[in-house]
């Protein structure tokens, strides 16, 4: 492949002149500009991005740390990011971590080794203390609320959304309400839903909290656990519409009616929820992703709240 000095030689100019025409620098005579362009076209030359990025100390590439892809919530966030990145001419790397703290750290290291200008953390498994040091090497934006001055964030008030959903359930006469979460108390989100539960219902019977729920199968498992116990809940808040769909399936299989025998509410307004007419708490994650991207390339440390909305269908 030809490089810039080949072009310079063939066009009879110096590399700086070639660089100038490449970068649309106005201080080039029309004659040379044309001559250079001709050689560039003839040789079908393209500047080497690695060399450009190396010297510019910028890559116009960002990374998105996400535990999993092929999961509606994270894919919505990613979708938001991609919407914006295309408009702004940025590239995006997907950095899956499976919630492995070491893997997460090695992704953050891409900031340090200059591969990435910034990183968006959709969900984390490291403490802030482990993450903050990397802000020295590039912008980091997270998708949960934090008041840390070095971190921008685009977040939903999850606590409020949980309280809202629980109160809605309570208004409809439910006192025995169970919920599912993805992770245990190591997760911020889990802590918030537990606090919200206490706020609305008081004590949480341990059996009313089922963890490790990601898929429809997990939802069925949760429903089995919940509905086979003697303290059967009358309503379930599921962390995702797929999980909610699993609960729905299991309950239907038992001959239970929804919502009369069991109310169900899910999350993220996914297709399966629309299909089964499940109510849902829509956290509008596409917007969160878009906003996070904007903060990232603006190198902003702002804290931006995105509104959520509860969509009521037939399941509560």
Partner DNA sequence: CTGAAAGCGCTAACAC
Partner DNA sequence: GTGTTAGCGCTTTCAG
- Report 152-191 residues binding its own copies (CB under 8 A): none
User: Which of 82, 120, 140, 247 is the binder for its own copies (CB under 8 A)?
Assistant: 82
User: Binding-site residue total for its own copies (CB under 8 A)?
Assistant: 47
What CA–CA distances, in Å, run from 116 to 67, 76, 97, 106, 113?
A: 19, 22, 17, 12, 8
CA neighbor of 267 nearest in space, from 170, 176, 193? 193
Task: Find the radius of gyration of the CA atoms of the chain.
Answer: 26
Tokens of 196: 């919200």
**Cβ closest to DNA, residue 27 vs residue 171:** 27
| CA 313 from centroid of its chain's CA atoms | 26
Closest CB 236 distance from its own copies, rounded Å: 16
The 198-237 contact track toward its own copies, x by CB under 8 A, reads -----------------xx---------------------
**Cβ closest to its own copies, residue 82 vs residue 210:** 82
Three-point CA angle 193, 242, 210, nearest 5°: 40
Closest CB 86 distance from DNA, rounded Å: 22
The 51-70 contact track toward its own copies, x by CB under 8 A, reads x-xx----x-x-------xx
Q: Kindly report the number of other CB atoms within 10 A of residue 174's CB atom.
A: 19
Q: State yes or no: residue 90 binds its own copies (CB under 8 A).
A: no
Which of its own copies, DNA, none does 78 bind, CB closer than 5 to 8 A by kind? its own copies
Segment contacting its own copies (CB under 8 A): 10-18, 74-82, 158-166, 197-205? 74-82
Segment contacting its own copies (CB under 8 A): 23-31, 190-198, 269-277, 297-305? 269-277
Q: How far apart are CA 55 and CA 39, in angstroms?
A: 24
Q: How far apart are CA 76 and CA 83, in angstroms?
A: 11
Q: Kindly report the number of other CB atoms within 10 A of residue 243's CB atom.
A: 31
Instruction: Extract the runs of DSSP E, i.e. beta strands, from the chain.
Output: 61-66, 91-96, 118-121, 139-142, 152-155, 177-180, 209-210, 235-237, 263-267, 279-282, 303-305, 309-311
129: buried, middle or exposed (CB in 10 Å: 19+, 13-18, 0-12)? exposed
Residues forming the site for DNA (CB under 7 A): 1, 3-5, 12-17, 19-20, 22-23, 26-29, 31-33, 46-48, 51-52, 54-57
Residues facing residue 64 across a β-bridge:
94, 120
Closest CB 42 distance from DNA, rounded Å: 15
Which of DNA, its own copies, none does 13 bind, CB closer than 5 to 8 A by kind? DNA
User: Which of 14, 37, 115, 300 is the binder for its own copies (CB under 8 A)?
Assistant: 115
Q: State yes or no: residue 6 binds its own copies (CB under 8 A).
A: no
**Cβ closest to its own copies, residue 148 vs residue 249:** 249
Please give the residue ranges that form the binding site for its own copies (CB under 8 A). 1, 46-51, 53-54, 59, 61, 69-70, 75-76, 78-79, 82, 86, 91-96, 98, 103, 109-110, 112-115, 137, 215-216, 242, 245, 248-249, 270-272, 274-276, 286
């Amino acid at each position: 492949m030809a490089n810039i000095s080949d072009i310079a030689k063939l066009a009879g100019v110096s590399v700086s002149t070639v660089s100038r025409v490449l970068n649309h620098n106005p201080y080039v005579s029309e004659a040379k500009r044309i001559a250079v362009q001709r050689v560039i076209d003839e040789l079908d030359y393209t500047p080497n991005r690695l060399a450009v990025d190396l010297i510019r100390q910028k890559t116009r590439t960002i990374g998105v740390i996400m535990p999993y892809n092929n999961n509606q919530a994270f894919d919505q966030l990613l979708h938001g990011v991609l919407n914006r990145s295309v408009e702004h001419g940025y590239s995006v790397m997907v950095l899956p971590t499976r919630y492995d703290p070491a893997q997460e750290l090695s992704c953050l290291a891409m900031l340090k080794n200059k591969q990435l200008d910034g990183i968006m953390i959709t969900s984390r498994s490291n403490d802030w203390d482990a993450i903050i040091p990397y802000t020295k090497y590039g912008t980091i934006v997270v998708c949960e609320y934090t008041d840390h001055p070095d971190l921008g964030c685009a977040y939903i008030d999850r606590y409020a959304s949980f309280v809202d959903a629980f109160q809605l359930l309570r208004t409809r006469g439910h006192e025995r309400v169970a919920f599912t979460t993805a992770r245990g108390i190591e997760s911020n989100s889990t802590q918030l839903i537990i606090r919200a539960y206490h706020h609305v219902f008081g004590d949480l019977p341990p059996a009313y909290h089922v963890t490790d729920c990601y898929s429809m199968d997990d939802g069925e498992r949760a429903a089995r656990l919940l509905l086979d116990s003697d303290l059967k809940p009358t309503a379930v808040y599921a962390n995702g519409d797929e999980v909610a769909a699993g609960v729905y399936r299991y309950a239907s299989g038992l001959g239970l009616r929804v919502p009369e025998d069991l109310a169900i509410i899910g999350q993220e307004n996914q297709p399966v929820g629309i299909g089964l007419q499940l109510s849902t708490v829509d956290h509008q994650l596409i917007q969160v992703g878009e906003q996070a991207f904007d903060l990232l390339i603006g190198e902003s440390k702002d804290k931006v709240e995105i509104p959520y909305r509860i969509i009521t269908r037939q399941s509560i």
